[in-house]
Amino acid sequence: MTKYIYKFDEGQKSMKDLLGGKGANLAEMKSLGLPVPDGFTITTEACIEYLKNDAELPDTLLEQLNIELDALSQRIQKSFSADESLLLVSVRSGAKISMPGMMDTILNLGLNDENVKKLATKTNDSRFAYDCYRRLLQMFGQVVYGIPMAAFDTYFNQYKTQHGYQSDADIPAEGLQDICNHFKEVYVEETYKPFPQEPINQLTEAIEAVFKSWDNDRARVYRQLNEIPHDIGTAVNIQEMVFGNSGERSGTGVAFTRNPVTGQANLFGEYLLNAQGEDVVAGIRTPKDIETLRAQMPHVHQQFVDVSKRLETHYKDMQDIEFTIENEQLYILQTRSGKRTANAAIHIAVDLVEEEIITKEEAVLNVEVKSIDQLLHPNFDEQSLKNATTISKIGLPASPGAASGKIVFSAEIAKEQAENGNKVILMRPETSPEDIEGMIASEAIVTTHGGMTSHAAVVARGMGKCCVTGCSDVEINVVDKVIHYPGGTLQEGDVISVDGAKGDIYYGEVATMKAERSEAFEQFMSWSEDVARLQVRMNAETPQDIQTGYQFNAKGIGLVRTEHMFFGPERLIEMRRFILSDTQDKRIAALNKIQQYQMTDFEAILKLSGERPTIIRLLDPPLHEFLPSSVEEKNNVAEQLNVSVRELEQYIENLNEVNPMLGHRGCRLAITYPELYVMQAEAIVSSALRLKAQGIECQPEIMIPLVSTVAEFTILKDQIVEKIEQLQQEAGDRIQYLIGTMIETPRACLIADELAEVCDFFSFGTNDLTQLTFGFSRDDAGKFIGSYLEQGILERDPFQTLDQNGVGQLVKKAAQQAKAVNPNIKIGVCGELGGDDKSIHYFNQIDIDYVSCSPFRVPGALLSTAQSEVKGGRSRV
């Protein structure tokens, strides 16, 4: 018989696959002796079985459930049917990977018309009993029967207004009783069935609902966004209830062991007295800072401080802890690694190493690669801020970033507008899991309610998205789509700017400036470098980009694309003259001019690189990319080149190709126009010679693109070397240089051993290699890749993440063969995949020496290489 249920006493933190994160950690905390209400976990296996069997519970599950319920009853001396000690439980979902707000929880399960009265009598508090009951009715209705939240909330809120109650806690027992009665009518209206009175039926229905919620749209979107597999299922935790809503000596809260925004090493949390469950997170009442608990309940506060230290040291990471206080008794209900901003992640990792809680290697694993991006986020320009009109400054800095966009009031509109290319800012009283896609589509999120742990805040931080919460001086009317703030009103479509690091909101668009990096960041990055094997270079050609990459500690340039240098107007015309010349003499004349420009460029680039290697790729794209297309442009060019428009059009016609990406491009251009590459090589080498004369040594690496035969390479290489020899002789000096090729056709991979004998280096061009291996045109794949992903034909877009089974195998074998014949050959990867985390992990396991990516991806790539090495690196293969 498969064991589908584990008591908390039987689990531990390493069992996340089976018990989910929440269940495994509840068990772990229990074994540490922490005050965790007793219970048990139904495994993820049971969920997977259930979904596979068309929503049928596995055979022996109910049997096991009854046994475990009895055992729990025995242990805690409470039961669903008892008159005196009534058992109420929470039913809590929990997958292996934490999915905040994505799945649903039911509290106070076990209550019904009969025992709510018993609870009232026993506790001598009917307000409390009916508060529990109305919550159960609400949550159960929503989670199990999908009754819209509004069906309950509207009535609840009306009731409060009608009777003049400020907060939920003001509603007296009779009021809550009325509300319960109304809620039960809602069941009949919405489902044509009464609320199930039998606790065991409530329980099985709830378990099934949690299993099913694994497949709801919100959960799917979240998993897609976070690359969580769809087939791992969720566990369900059944746990004895403790009551934060049993008066003013009780409460519920959430705390992080360190500040999740700045990383500061002090407890950071919020709580509400006389409240239950998600009240804090839902932003219904404004919670209090955990610090005030010290005065209200000193020993509970002290106990919590101790627990949080203990958990942090035990888990070796900042923890996000959920707790409840029942009559001054502390209970811990959940712990997990806390979501944090990138800045906080770096600070926390560095502090934990300094506090000797973790090692450098562990620190590297504690920061998510994705989050590095956030650190490079821009801030608002101080000067422009001074002149900006403030809308609100009292919001909370929930997630850093600086963003401007048009106001929208709903997630649907946010999504729609973003799809039309508009930058939008989602403004709402609060957000809920239904808003997730709209949040993704927005530049920033602003809420008027809620604190630093509200749904909006937590989710935005996870996404690295700018967010301000608790802007309580701004009033949003979602129905009329108008906002009133102290200084005026705003409508949908008005542009505002949001400063997520400060919690400020401004009217109009405020200019931004680049991010500054902290000492902790430098420290962390240098540890990453210490740990990594693979090196990281950058793809760049402008001085500004190159400087950026070097500031991020790139180890050299992996790709300078020379064609980007031909697009300035005065250069373009010479390029056109070259393309349109009918004799070699004319072509050479045009090239001489271009060469002058190229020398200036190369000198600047090589000077910035100095002794760091710099790969310069010779001209790659099809020539027609340089030709005019509009009538006006054609007229201009014809005039400048002194030909008739008709002649020009004839030339263009001749150059036209059916399949330009497979046509006359890359080294094929130089095979037909040899003077082209010779000119470029001359520009590179004479720049290097000139720099050397000034005392600057540099290391150009000349790269011939799109090679698929050895002869293509050797013919071009010989021409280039001849020129270089001549230049060196003339200068009476020599420089260090390499000549290699880009490996980007499948054939080149297949003859890698032959190519390696004549090449100094290889650089895998994964964009073209993917295109040619699949036969997917990069420019047209957008039309079908979506369907491929949806239907599971491909797991990922191969242009964004390496296709390991196909393209990856080509790279692996080619690199291996190349190293076998030429152990000194340097092998790198350039192209988008060079900056992708998963792809980098693969490259780290094979014979690749470095990856190269755009400058802003360098820090993330560096962290990926370090993490890959800590996780096992090459030894794994």
Per the annotation, where are the binding residues for substrate? Answer: 561, 617, 744, 765-768
d(CA 437, CA 133): 33
For the bound state, the minimum distance from the C-beta of residue 855 to ligand ADP, rounded and expressed in Å, comes to 39
d(CA 449, CA 468): 10
In this complex, which beta carbon is closest to Mg ion, that of residue 274 or of residue 334? Answer: 334
**Inter-residue contact 843 to 769 (CB < 8 Å):** no
Residue type, 209: A
Question: Beta partners for 491?
Answer: 482
Which one of the spans 238-246, 631-639, 722-730, 737-745 is the region binding ligand ADP (CB under 6 A)?
A: 238-246
**Inter-residue contact 745 to 667 (CB < 8 Å):** no
How many residues touch Mg ion under the rule CB under 5 A: the total is: 2
Length of the chain: 877
Among ligand ADP, Mg ion, none, what binds residue 574 when CB lies within 5 to 8 Å by partner kind? none
In this complex, which beta carbon is closest to ligand ADP, that of residue 101 or of residue 622? Answer: 101
For the bound state, the minimum distance from the C-beta of residue 22 to ligand ADP, rounded and expressed in Å, comes to 6
For the bound state, the minimum distance from the C-beta of residue 135 to ligand ADP, rounded and expressed in Å, comes to 10
Residue with tokens 């009853």: 73
Which one of the spans 100-108, 126-134, 705-713, 736-744 is the region binding ligand ADP (CB under 6 A)?
A: 100-108
Question: Which x/- pattern over 264-303 shows residues binding Mg ion (rule: CB under 5 A)?
Answer: ----------------------------------------
Among 41, 43, 64, 90, binds ligand ADP (CB under 6 A): 90
State whether residue 439 is helix, strand or coil: helix
Our finding on whether 78 is near ligand ADP (CB under 6 A) is no
Among ligand ADP, Mg ion, none, what binds residue 252 when CB lies within 5 to 8 Å by partner kind? ligand ADP
Q: What is the DSSP letter of 565?
A: G
d(CA 820, CA 143): 60
Nearest in space to 332 (alpha carbons), one of 805, 8, 742: 8
Cα separation values, 806 from 19, 697, 823, Å: 35, 41, 25
In this complex, which beta carbon is closest to ligand ADP, that of residue 72 or of residue 333? Answer: 333
DSSP per residue, 321-332: EEEEEETTEEEE
For the bound state, the minimum distance from the C-beta of residue 324 to ligand ADP, rounded and expressed in Å, comes to 5
- Cα four-point dihedral sign 495, 498, 504, 509: negative
In this complex, which beta carbon is closest to ligand ADP, that of residue 462 or of residue 855? Answer: 462
Q: Which residues are annotated as a binding site?
A: 561, 617, 744, 765-768
**Inter-residue contact 110 to 80 (CB < 8 Å):** yes
In this complex, which beta carbon is closest to Mg ion, that of residue 320 or of residue 701? Answer: 320
Q: What is the DSSP letter of 79?
A: B
d(CA 204, CA 342): 41
Among 15, 42, 72, 107, binds ligand ADP (CB under 6 A): 107
Which one of the spans 56-64, 239-247, 531-539, 730-738 is the region binding ligand ADP (CB under 6 A)?
A: 239-247
Question: Which x/- pattern over 28-47 shows residues binding ligand ADP (rule: CB under 6 A)?
Answer: ---------x----------
Task: Kindly give the residue spans of alpha helices, DSSP state H, lying in 192-328.
Answer: 199-213, 217-225, 279-282, 291-296, 298-315
In this complex, which beta carbon is closest to ligand ADP, that of residue 237 or of residue 374? Answer: 237
Question: Beta partners for 743?
Answer: 764
For the bound state, the minimum distance from the C-beta of residue 37 to ligand ADP, rounded and expressed in Å, comes to 5
Among 11, 23, 101, 199, binds ligand ADP (CB under 6 A): 101
**Inter-residue contact 853 to 834 (CB < 8 Å):** yes
In this complex, which beta carbon is closest to ligand ADP, that of residue 138 or of residue 334? Answer: 334
User: In this structure, what are the phi and psi dihedrals at residue 390, rounded to the nearest 5 degrees?
Assistant: -80, 140
Our finding on whether 246 is near ligand ADP (CB under 6 A) is no
Among ligand ADP, Mg ion, none, what binds residue 277 when CB lies within 5 to 8 Å by partner kind? ligand ADP
For the bound state, the minimum distance from the C-beta of residue 251 to ligand ADP, rounded and expressed in Å, comes to 10
In this complex, which beta carbon is closest to Mg ion, that of residue 455 or of residue 665? Answer: 455
Give the tokens for residue 378: 């821009």
Among 38, 68, 131, 322, binds ligand ADP (CB under 6 A): 322
For the bound state, the minimum distance from the C-beta of residue 469 to Mg ion, rounded and expressed in Å, comes to 17
**Inter-residue contact 829 to 861 (CB < 8 Å):** no
Which one of the spans 99-107, 560-568, 675-683, 854-862 is the region binding ligand ADP (CB under 6 A)?
A: 99-107
For the bound state, the minimum distance from the C-beta of residue 278 to Mg ion, rounded and expressed in Å, comes to 5
DSSP per residue, 133-168: HHHHHHHHHHHHH---HHHHHHHHHHHHHHHT-SSG
d(CA 423, CA 420): 9
Our finding on whether 239 is near ligand ADP (CB under 6 A) is yes
In this complex, which beta carbon is closest to ligand ADP, that of residue 105 or of residue 770? Answer: 105
Q: What is the number of the residue whose Cβ is closest to Mg ion?
A: 334
Give the tokens for residue 694: 């000034």
- Strands ordered across the beta sheet of 396-399: 390-392, 504-507, 495-499, 402-408, 424-428, 444-447, 466-469, 396-399
**Inter-residue contact 216 to 182 (CB < 8 Å):** no
Among 43, 64, 105, 115, binds ligand ADP (CB under 6 A): 105
Question: Which x/- pattern over 275-304 shows residues binding ligand ADP (rule: CB under 6 A)?
Answer: --xx--------------------------
In this complex, which beta carbon is closest to ligand ADP, that of residue 322 or of residue 712? Answer: 322
For the bound state, the minimum distance from the C-beta of residue 101 to ligand ADP, rounded and expressed in Å, comes to 6
State whether residue 390 is helix, strand or coil: strand
Our finding on whether 333 is near ligand ADP (CB under 6 A) is yes
Which one of the spans 155-163, 179-187, 237-245, 608-616 is the region binding ligand ADP (CB under 6 A)?
A: 237-245
Our finding on whether 241 is near ligand ADP (CB under 6 A) is yes
d(CA 806, CA 774): 8
Which one of the spans 72-80, 234-242, 284-292, 476-484 is the region binding ligand ADP (CB under 6 A)?
A: 234-242
Nearest in space to 371 (alpha carbons), one of 489, 468, 464: 464
Query: What does the CA dihedral 61, 63, 68, 69 come to, rounded to 10 degrees?
Result: 110
Which one of the spans 63-71, 138-146, 240-248, 476-484 is the region binding ligand ADP (CB under 6 A)?
A: 240-248
Among Mg ion, ligand ADP, none, what binds residue 64 when CB lies within 5 to 8 Å by partner kind? none
Among 92, 218, 576, 587, binds ligand ADP (CB under 6 A): 92
State whether residue 380 is helix, strand or coil: strand
Q: What is the DSSP letter of 10?
A: G
Query: What is the number of helices (H) and of strands (E) in the chain?
Result: 35, 31
Positions 330 through 389 that interact with Mg ion (CB under 5 A)? 334
In this complex, which beta carbon is closest to Mg ion, that of residue 277 or of residue 503? Answer: 277
How many residues touch ligand ADP under the rule CB under 6 A: the total is: 17
State whether residue 23 is helix, strand or coil: helix
Strand bridging mode 482-485 / 475-477: antiparallel
Nearest in space to 495 (alpha carbons), one of 580, 608, 391, 593: 391
- Residues marked active site are found at 455, 830
Q: Which residues are annotated as a binding site for Mg(2+)?
A: 744, 768
Positions 297 through 336 that interact with Mg ion (CB under 5 A)? 322, 334
For the bound state, the minimum distance from the C-beta of residue 333 to ligand ADP, rounded and expressed in Å, comes to 5
Our finding on whether 252 is near ligand ADP (CB under 6 A) is yes
What does the radius of gyration of the chain's CA atoms come to, in whole angstroms? Answer: 32
Helix (H) or strand (E) holding 486: none
For the bound state, the minimum distance from the C-beta of residue 517 to ligand ADP, rounded and expressed in Å, comes to 34
Residues forming contacts to ligand ADP in the complex (CB under 6 A) are 37, 90, 92, 101, 105, 107, 239-242, 252, 277-278, 322, 324, 333-334
Residues forming contacts to Mg ion in the complex (CB under 5 A) are 322, 334
